[in-house]
Amino acid sequence: NKYLGAVDTPYNYFRWNYTISSKDLATILVSKGFLSNCDEVLSLTPLKRGVHGRISQLKIHYLIKGKEKTLLVESQYKIRAALHQKFLYSSAFVVKKEGSRFTLLGAGWGHGVGLCQVGAVGMALKGFSYEDILSHYFPEAKIVKAKE
């Protein structure tokens, strides 16, 4: 669809990073019901990505009472829910592990299609009109008055 598409924005969350310890991540996975018990997360491995780089399948290797186990998380939404206490900005990220800490280096906020709400707010705060903002995110669309 030529009217919908990903538009990069220079405002907050265009590029982000999030660091968490393996034990804190284990606590989140249990508290959100992804696992019934978990002592420590050992690795995060993206298995599938969509055409725009967002992870759609993630393997979580973890430790429970000395035994290694694997959890498969499928869908961008579930991945974003599983890895953050609230909700991860997007599933467009790479994983770096240093010691017992994971750093996710990511891009964007949301699903990557259409209008970035944070970017739109950033533009509005800089004085852009609603016409400018809509034209930026939907360059092929025409703004018209609807009939009353």
How many distinct structural domains can be found in the chain? 1
- Whether residue 120 is contained in a domain is answered as no
How far is residue 148's CA from residue 139's CA, in Å, rounded to a whole number? 25
Low-confidence residues of the chain: pLDDT under 70: 1-14, 109-114, 148
Is 41 inside any structural domain? yes
Distance, CA of 54 to CA of 50 (rounded, Å): 5
For 97, the domain range is 17-85+93-107
Judge whether 11 lies within some domain.
no
Query: Would residue 141 count as lying in a domain?
Result: no
| Claim: this prediction has a pTM higher than 0.85 | no
Q: What is the pLDDT of residue 136?
A: 86
- Has residue 99 been placed in a domain? yes
Would you say 55 and 112 are in contact if contact means Cβ atoms under 8 Å apart? no
Q: Is position 59 within any domain?
A: yes
45 occurs within a structural domain: yes
128 is a domain residue? no
pLDDT in tens, 53-64: 899 999 999 999
